[in-house]
Amino acid sequence: MEVYFLGTNAGVPTLQRNVTSVALRLLEERRSFWMFDCGEGTQHQILRSPLRLGKLEKVFVTHLHGDHLFGLPGLISSRGYQGGTAPLTVYGPPGLKAYLDISLSVSQSRIPYTLEVVEHTGGLVFEDETFKVEAGLLEHRIDSYGYRVTEKDSPGSLNTDLLRSYGLKPGPLYGKLKKGENVTTEDGVLIQASEVVSEPKQGRIVTVLGDTRPCAGSLPLASGADLVIHEATFGHELEAMAYQYHHSTARQAAELAGEAGARQLLLTHFSSRYTSQEELIPLLEEAKSIFADTQLAEEFCTFAVHRRVARK
């Protein structure tokens, strides 16, 4: 599981940074990637990245401001030309379906795959046997949502060397042991699953917060997360401006990560007033003074989401 940034700027693109989009790479877990927001020019960013649109499985839209949305019709249209034949599901606030229906119908875009648009107002928006995604309302000029992606715990690994010593070969009994069931060999030997299966692998939690002022809705989404991705539009000396425009400072993002007991914080969605990565260093320093494990998001950079030690 890795996070890959396609756009880290707020409002409008600049020569240095594109507007918001971040990919959650799940190549080992699902052989796909998910995208959170899709600002204008995102498909151009993908062309410069190792990502392939044919592997895009889901898009989660935080809110309907253009810098988080205007790239989506073009990306949906282009996906079919780049090998995308599997279904694509797009999640977001009410109004998203109307926007996409009008954009794609007026442009007479041909979509050679199944496109599903799921509108929500928070709560559980997706769940299967390996992941669940929950959304919560934040505080912005329009309805803006954060997403909490939870990877479910997976079974531990079999000790195949020990099983071979029992004379047990790969087969149905391996599957039963993996499920935690005890088995008996043909020789009448009882094998305890707990002796041959390691501890379950604890799932990881990634929180992606949309544009927001500090608000109560952020905390449950970020609680105990392995990684929190939080906007840091301004430095803290511009706290009043941040509040006026319904955004957050780097320090406020760090305060939320600390209160939530998160493991790592990635700052993104930077104001255009910061024209280079070097000019963002003061934002990083103010955040790190409160939450040490903070990094600046950077486009075309990968950040691993590390697995925690299994529960005892």
Which residues share a beta bridge with 296? Answer: 267
Nearest CA among 97, 33, 35, 103 for reference residue 73: 103
128 is in an annotated binding site: no
Are residues 196 and 177 in contact, defined by beta-carbon separation less than 8 angstroms? yes
Classify residue 229 as exposed, middle or buried by CB count within 10 Å of its CB (0-12, 13-18, 19+): buried
67 is in an annotated binding site: yes
Are residues 247 and 211 in contact, defined by beta-carbon separation less than 8 angstroms? yes
Residue 182 CA, distance from chain mean position: 37
63 is in an annotated binding site: yes
3-state secondary structure of 310: coil
Which residues share a beta bridge with 123? Answer: 135
In the block, which residue shows the tokens 């229906």?
Answer: 101
Are residues 269 and 7 in contact, defined by beta-carbon separation less than 8 angstroms? no
68 is in an annotated binding site: yes
- Given the residues 67, 128, 187, 226, the one annotated as active site: 67
Residue 28 CA, distance from chain mean position: 15
161 catalytic residue (yes or no): no
153 is in an annotated binding site: no
Q: Which tokens hold the place of 26?
A: 């799940």
Q: Nearest-5° angle of CA 32, CA 179, CA 311?
A: 75
Summarize the annotated binding site for Zn(2+) as residue ranges.
63, 65, 67-68, 140, 211, 269
Summarize the annotated binding site as residue ranges.
63, 65, 67-68, 140, 211, 269
Kindly list the catalytic residues. Answer: 67
